[in-house]
Amino acid sequence: MQRRHFLKSAMLGSAAVLAGFPLMKAEAASKMKITKIRYYSAPGYNKPLFNQARGIVEIETSGGIIGIGEGGSKDMIEQCAQMMIGEDPFRIEHIWQTLYRGMFYPPGREKLHALGALEMALWDIKGKALNVPVYDLLGGATRDYVECYATGFRASKAKDEEQRARDCIEAGLRAYRIGPTGGNGDARFDFYENAKKTIEFSKRIDAAVGGGGKWAIDLHTRFDTPEAIKICTALEELEPYFVEDPIRSENPEVFKTLRPMLKVPLTVGEQFGDRWDINTMMEQHLIDYSRVTLPNTGGITEFKKIASIAETHYVGLIPHFTGPLSTAALVHVLGSSSPIRAMIELAGGEPEKIPYFNDDYVHFKNGKLYLNPAPGLGVKFNPKKADFVMEITSNTKFPHPVLHSPDGAVHNW
C-alpha cells in the first residue's frame, strides 16, 4: 500500500508538470520521517577505526521501512544521527548538506565514514520505498558488470605468490594486486633493500601472469621520493595495471614533481574522503585512477559527484575495499556511472561470507560483480547476528542554529 502511494504520487507529479502546472514545493517528499537510528558492531571484527570501519547502521522510518548502511564509529554516528531524527529520508542531499555543513568545522575523514554509512542507508530506504534498485535511482545501468581485482586470493591452495596470482587470473578476475616486500609486521623497513626486492618481486609476478596489465602493486606510502622513482621507473617496461601510493599523499603538490618523472599509471585515494580531497589530483592530471571509496567519501551521492569529476579529467575509478555492504553499494554506483574505466577490489579475491547478511548480498560470478536488481541495496540484515551498540531516537538541540538561505537551502553557520 505504501509503495503504491509513492508511485501514484510520483506519477501525479509528473502529469502535473507535463500539463503545465508547476509543483509548488518539493512534493517528491516521502511523507515519512526518520524515527530511530540504531548502530551495531560487526562480531569478531576488532580492527581500529580506519578505512575499513564496519559498523552497521539501521535507519527506521515512520512508514516502517528500514534502511541499512556500513561504516563509522560510535561517537561519530551518534553526533550525525541526532541531527537526522524527524527529517524526511527522501531528502538525501539536503540531509547530507546539513550534516556536512551544520557544525562550525568541516567534517574530518572519521566523521565522513559515519556520514557515508548513514547516507548509504537513506538510499536503501528510497529504493525499498519505490521498489527499485539503487542503481535505477542513480540513472540506470550503464554496464553489465563491474570488473574486480584481488588483493590475495584465498581460493588458491598455492604455497607461493606466483601461483596464487595465476590462479586469480584463471578465475576470471582482471588483476592481482601485490604489495612491497617488507613492512608487513617487520619492526624495521630498509628503504634501499626493500626497493630492490620489490622490483624483483614485481618481475616474478608479471612473468607468472603473462604480463598484459594483469597485476598491480600498492607501495603503501612506505617509500620516499628517490625509491618511489626508482621502483616506478623499473616497472615501466612491465606495464602494471597501476602503481598505488608510491609516496605519502597528504600533500598533492609533491605529485607535481613526481608525475612528470613517471610513466606508470598512478593511483591514490584510499585514505581520502570527499571530493575536495581528490579534486586537485584529478584536475591537475596527477593521477590516472582514484582509489576513493565508500563509505569514506561521505556516501553514494558524493561518490557520484567524484565520478563526474573523474570523467571530466579522464581518470578511472578503482575504489579501495572497505566492507561487504560498501562493496554491494559500489556495484550500484559504478554500475550506473559514466562508462569510464572502473574496477572493484575484493580482499581475498571473492566476497566474504557475512553471518548477518543474506548469502547473495552481492551477485558474483567468474571474478565479476553483477548488478543486484532487488529493491534498495539488495542486502538483508539480521540484527540478531550483530552486536547492538546504541539507538538514537531524539534530535539534540545544538548550541547554534543551522542556517538556511532564503530559498531554504543549507547555509554555513
pLDDT value for 120: 98
Taken in order 184, 186, 190, 192, the sign of the CA dihedral is negative
Tell me if 235 sits within 8 A of 203, measured CB to CB. no
> Where are the domains positioned within the chain?
31-131+382-392, 137-370
Q: Are 187 and 146 in contact (CB under 8 A)?
A: no
Q: Cell numbers 617487520 correspond to what residue?
A: 186
Q: Which amino acid is at 409?
A: A
Residue 58 is placed in which grid cell? 539501521
Is there a common fold for 31-131+382-392 and 137-370? no
pLDDT score recorded for residue 306: 97
Instruction: Using the structure block, give the residue that is written with the C-alpha cell 520505498.
Output: 129
Looking at domain 31-131+382-392, does it have CATH number 3.90.580.10? no
Task: Give the separation between CA 237 and CA 218, rounded to whole angstroms.
Answer: 17
Architecture of domain 137-370: Alpha-Beta Barrel (3.20)
Distance in angstroms (rounded) separating the CA atoms of residues 190 and 401: 53
C-alpha cell at 115: 556520514
DSSP 107: P
Per-residue pLDDT of the chain (413 residues; tens, 9 = 90+): 444 444 444 433 433 333 333 333 434 577 899 999 999 998 877 665 555 678 999 999 999 999 999 999 999 999 999 999 999 999 999 999 999 988 888 899 999 999 999 999 999 999 999 999 999 999 999 999 999 999 999 999 999 999 999 999 999 999 999 999 876 656 677 888 999 999 999 999 999 999 999 999 999 999 999 999 999 999 999 999 999 999 998 898 899 999 999 999 999 999 899 999 999 999 999 999 999 999 999 999 999 999 999 999 999 999 999 999 999 999 999 999 999 999 999 999 999 999 999 999 999 999 999 999 999 999 999 999 999 999 999 877 665 677 888 888 888 77
Sign of the CA dihedral with 253 first, then 258, 263, and 265 last: negative
Say what the pTM is. 0.90
What's the number of CA atoms in the CB half-sphere (13 Å) around residue 190? Answer: 5
CA-CA distance, 375 to 134, in Å (whole number)? 7
